Amino acid sequence: RTRSILRKAKEQGFTPAASGSDLLNKLSGDEEFACVKTIADLPDAIKKAAASNEPFMVSRAVAQIARSFNRFYNNCSILGGDDAELKTARLALCEAVCDAIEAGTYLLGISVVEQM
């Protein structure tokens, strides 16, 4: 879903905000913060999984990222609305979710589907 959103945004002339951009301050909703938090929790899950030889910790963290993104997707208009800065900030969040899920699934030996 994230790849599809990013492709559609590119077709409309929008690109994600750059990492460290002030535009990321536009993210203020609970669903947005939940996504950011679950992404931020992934490195810890990876470290714990490696230390305890329990790969399910990574899959659980990836699933949590997917769930938080689903709530964000269903409750926040990513490409809708008139606020172009908010769109680019939300696109950056989509890109971060995509990267985190891809990294986690790579560690689990699972290929990511580009398009359904």
Domain extent listing, the chain: 2-107
What tens digit of pLDDT does each residue of 68-82 get?
Answer: 999 999 999 999 888
Cα–Cα distance list, 16 to 5, 63, 74, 76, 109 (Å): 11, 23, 19, 16, 28
Topology (CATH level 3) of domain 2-107: Isoleucyl-tRNA Synthetase; Domain 1 (1.10.730)
Return the pLDDT at 59.
Answer: 97
The residue-averaged pLDDT of 91-113 equals 93
How remote is the C-alpha of 67 from its chain's centroid? 10
Confidence bin at 39 (pLDDT 50/70/90): very high
Find the distance separating the first CA and the last CA of the chain, reported in whole Å: 8
Confidence bin at 65 (pLDDT 50/70/90): very high
Confidence bin at 24 (pLDDT 50/70/90): confident
